[in-house]
A and B are shown apart, each in its own frame.
Chain A
Amino acid sequence: MQTIHIKINGKDWTGPVEDGETLVDMIRYRLGLTGTKRGCEVGECGACTVLIDGVPNASCMWLAALADGKSITTIEGLTNEDGTLSPIQQAFIDAGAVQCGFCTPGMILSAYALLKRNPHPTREEIKVALSGNMCRCATYEQVMEAVERASDLLAAAVVEKE
C-alpha cells in the first residue's frame, strides 16, 4: 500500500492505493468515476483512455502508484460545473456517434486532446489521433463527423477544466 497525490479533473486527491492496482480501477472504485471503462485490459481497445498531464493514456496499462503527482482528466472532467455537456460531448450526440456508448468516453478524450493541440485537424489527422480507440458498433464515420463538428463549436468557445 502506498499513499499518492494526484489532481483529478482539477481537484486534489490524496489517498492509498495497492502497489499492484491499476489506474483504471483506482478511478472507478476509489474515486467512483465510472465514466472510464474497463475494456480489453491490455492497452489495445482505448475504452479506458484518460488524459495524464493532458496526454491520452490507457489507464489499464498504468499502475495507479506510478501516476503519483500527475494531473488526470476523465470524461467527467469535461462536463460543465452545472452538469451541462461540453461542446465536444454535445457534438458526439448531435452526430449520432454514440451507439452502445462503451467506447465513447475514450473516443471523446482522445478527440479532446487532439483538438487542444490542433483545433482544426484534417480527417486524416483525426483518424491517426483516434487510431487507438476501437468501436465495436463501427460508428467511425459518425465519430469523424462529431470531431469535425466539435472543432467548429470549439472554435467559438473552448471549455477547459483541468
Chain B
Amino acid sequence: MMYSVKELYRPETLTDALAYMAEHPDARPIAGGTDILVSMRKKKPEDVLLVGLQNLQELRGIRRRDDGTVEIGAYNTFTDLANSPIIAESVPMLRTAALAMGGPQIQNAATIGGNVCNGATSADSAPGLFARGAILVLRSAAGERRVPITEFYDGPGRVKRQSGEILVSIELPAYSAAHYGDCYIKFSTRKAMDLALIGCAASCGVAEDGTISDIGIALGVAAPTPIRAVEAENFLKGKRLTADMLEEVGNLALANAKPRDSWRASKAYREQIIRTLARRAVRAAYEMAGGVL
C-alpha cells in the first residue's frame, strides 16, 4: 500500500513541529497512525502533509503532580497506559479502557492523543476522560490553549483542534474526597477487536461519611460525541448511594443520551444497555471508593 503522502516531516523537537505546522496549515499530525492511515485509504487520494510526532519527548511520560493532577503526555500508547503504575493507582478505569481497545498490535501503536483527536464517539479513552473532566493542553506556534475535553468534540469524527495545533498533554484534575473509585465498562458484541456498542465510565469521590462529593458519569456511542450524564450526576451529588437509587441513575443517564438505530444495534437495545451500564459503573466506582450500599 502506498499512501498519497506529499511529505512526511519528522521533527526532533516540539518547537520545530509547531513551526512546520504554522507554515503548513493543512499538515496533519501522525502518532500511532492506526486511525489516520485507515481514514486515508477511504478518501480519494490527495497529497497529504504529515508531521510524525514519534521523536517529540515533550509528548511522552505520565506524571502525578504534588496537587494530585495526573498529566498524561499525548504520545502514550494504550500499552503505555496499561503498564503505568500512576494510571493503575489514580485512574484505573483508563487501564481497563486501554486493554479493551483493539488487539495487542494496535494497543502497542495507537496513542491516547490520537484517540482523542480522531473524534470518534466510540473512542475507548473518551468516557473516562470525560468523567474526570480532563483538560486538553494544545500548543501552536502562537502559544498554548487549554480546553475541557467536554467542549472539544464537535460531531462524529470532528474535534475543535485548530490548524497548526498539536495536542501535547491531557490533565486530569484531582478529586479532593477522602476516597476515590472509578470504573469503565465497554459493551461490545465481541470481547476482542471490536468497537464499543456503548461505553460507560464513572468516577466517584466519597467522603468519610459515605456521601458522594465528586461524581463523573460519561457515555460513549450514546450520542454523536461522548457525553456526560449530567442529570444522573446532579442526582447523586452529596448523597449516600443506595440500591434503590441505582434504578433512577440508569433512567437519568438516558436523559442526556441520543442513541441511534444502526446495523450494530437498535436504539431500544442501546437504551437498555445505557441504563444497565450506568447503574453498574456507578455502583462499582462507589464501592471501589469504599462506599457501602
Contacts and interface: CB of A to CB of B under 8 A. Distances in A.
Interface of A: 2, 18-22, 24-25, 38, 41-44, 46, 49, 52, 55-58, 60-63, 65-66, 68, 110, 128-129, 131-133
A43 B8 contact: no
Contact of B103 (A38, A46, A63): A46
B160 interface: no
B2 A58 contact: no
Contact of B108 (A44, A55, A60, A66): A55
A156 B33 CA distance: 39
Interface centre among A60, A61, A133, by most B CB within 10 Å? A61
Contacts of B4: 20
Contacts of A25: 1-2
A38 B2 CA distance: 13
Given A66-B33, A132-B193, A58 B109 contact: yes
Decide if the interface of chain A is mainly helix, strand, loop or mixed.
mixed
Contact of A21 (B2, B108, B193): B2
B2 A62 contact: no
12 contacts: A18-B5, A22-B1, A22-B2, A22-B3, A55-B79, A57-B109, A61-B37, A65-B8, A66-B10, A66-B54, A131-B104, A131-B193
B130 to A, nearest CB: 25
A42 B33 CA distance: 10
Given A38-B1, A43-B109, A63-B52, 9 more contacts: A20-B4, A24-B1, A42-B38, A46-B103, A58-B106, A61-B38, A110-B105, A131-B192, A131-B193
B37 to A, nearest CB: 6
B30 interface: yes
A29 B4 CA distance: 18
Contacts of B104: 56, 110, 128-129, 131-132
Contacts of B30: 63, 66
A66 B52 contact: yes
B43 interface: no
A43 B32 CA distance: 11
Contacts of A129: 104
A61 B33 CA distance: 6
A38 B8 CA distance: 23
Contact of B105 (A2, A22, A56, A68): A56
B102 interface: yes
